[in-house]
Structure 1
Amino acid sequence: DDILIYSKNKEEHEEHLRIILELLQKEKLYAKFLKCKFWLDSVKYLDHVINSHGVHVDPTKVEAIKSWTAPKSPTEVMQFLGLTGYYRRFIEGFSLIAKPLTKITQKNKTYEWGEEEEEAFQLLKDKLCSAPVLALPEGSKDFVVYCDASLKGYEAVLMRREKVIAYASR
């Protein structure tokens, strides 16, 4: 039930607002004015910050990750992977990096936190704390997907005009 409108400039935004407000009126849909915010330069939405530069990881989540201590149980590993996995599109090669952590959460596996798990944990923290700003997809042309596959999995990156829109891996 949220409506977010992104525009490149003031004139375009006025036009977008007019179109949306007319559409709401036509469909007899209502927005509570006190809950509406207009002309924002930056929006925090679904634990992301979106502005004219692109999509950012929410800084409060970055702070939480910075202070995250090494997990002491499979449950704590899953909580960490849940948070970092939510932002996987910001992390090139996420699945391969997270693999040692994923392995120790499997049932019937003894929980052993070793050097490999610590390295994966620290690398995910580092990558998320220095995550790139992802470009906003605009238009329908000039998109490129680069991918690499092996028996271990795949990696891909969606780009437009040399700007990263999202990473994917499995």
Structure 2
Amino acid sequence: MMNTIFHTELSEGWLIIYIDDIIIGSDSWSFHLERLARVLQKVAEVNMKISLKKCNFGFEELKALGHVVSGLSLGIDKNKVAAVLLKPIPQNKKEMMSFLGFSSYYRQHLKDFAILAKSLYRICDQQTLFERTQERIKAYEKIKQALT
């Protein structure tokens, strides 16, 4: 529903929607006010409700869904990855799947993630013995490094 209501704004690339959260990106305060007015107009047209307690207006940077949103850019929230980076290398398939699931969430920020993670995904297969080879340790360390 939200994607339908804000189709134009989404296609213009300055609006991010996740379930019922809306983030407006702008290069300047005047653009921000114009875009905010457009969004609020559509909200009113469809009789949508807004929780003012959840609203933050005019921030140059904010943290949302494990990302840092700044203007029109999206980065990794380093506080979200800190705990994962402190953990030792996974000791079994379950731990490796957990690490891969977490790091895959940030794959858009990780150059060549699919290539790096390929050998790690392979050892998570049920028919494969969980064996840490130098190649896999190196891949794990490269992914960890890319998250920092």
- Residues 115-164 of structure 1: CA deviation (Å, up to 9, x unaligned): 221111111111121xxxxxxxxxxxxxxxxxxxxxxxxxxxxxxxxxxx
Cross-structure match for 2:92: 73
Report the Cα distance in structure 1 between the residues aligned to 2:119 and 2:128, rounded to whole angstroms: 12
Report the Cα distance in structure 1 between the residues aligned to 2:117 and 2:42, rounded to whole angstroms: 45
- Residues 5-51 of structure 1: CA deviation (Å, up to 9, x unaligned): 11111111111122222222222112122221111111212211110
Cross-structure match for 2:47: 28
- What secondary structure is seen at the aligned counterpart in 1 of 2:88? coil
Report the Cα distance in structure 1 between the residues aligned to 2:44 and 2:118, rounded to whole angstroms: 50
Stretches of structure 1 that go unaligned for 5 or more consecutive residues are 130-170
Report the Cα distance in structure 1 between the residues aligned to 2:35 and 2:72, rounded to whole angstroms: 19
Cross-structure match for 1:121: 140
Report the Cα distance in structure 2 between the residues aligned to 1:61 and 1:32, rounded to whole angstroms: 25
Instruction: Pick 1 or 2: higher relative contact order, CA cutoff 8 A, min separation 6.
Output: 1
- What secondary structure is seen at the aligned counterpart in 2 of 1:106? coil
Where does structure 1 differ by over 6 angstroms across 4 or more consecutive aligned residues?
none
Decide which moves more: 67-76 or 16-25.
16-25
Report the Cα distance in structure 1 between the residues aligned to 2:42 and 2:134, rounded to whole angstroms: 57
- What secondary structure is seen at the aligned counterpart in 2 of 1:56? strand
Deviation at 1:53, TM superposition (A): 6.9
Report the Cα distance in structure 2 between the residues aligned to 1:51 and 1:118, rounded to whole angstroms: 33
Amino acid at match of 2:143: L
Alignment of 1:77-156 (within 5 A): 77-129=96-148
RMSD: 1.5
Cross-structure match for 2:17: none
**What TM-score does the superposition give when structure 2 sets the normalisation length?**
0.80
Decide which moves more: 79-88 or 24-33.
24-33
Amino acid at match of 2:74: V
How many residue pairs end up in the alignment? 129
Identity %: 30
Report the Cα distance in structure 2 between the residues aligned to 1:99 and 1:22, rounded to whole angstroms: 46
Distance 1:44 1:101, change over 3 A: same
- What secondary structure is seen at the aligned counterpart in 2 of 1:105? coil
Amino acid at match of 2:100: L
**What TM-score does the superposition give when structure 1 sets the normalisation length?**
0.70
| Aligned mate of 1:61, from 80, 83, 88 | 80
Amino acid at match of 2:65: L
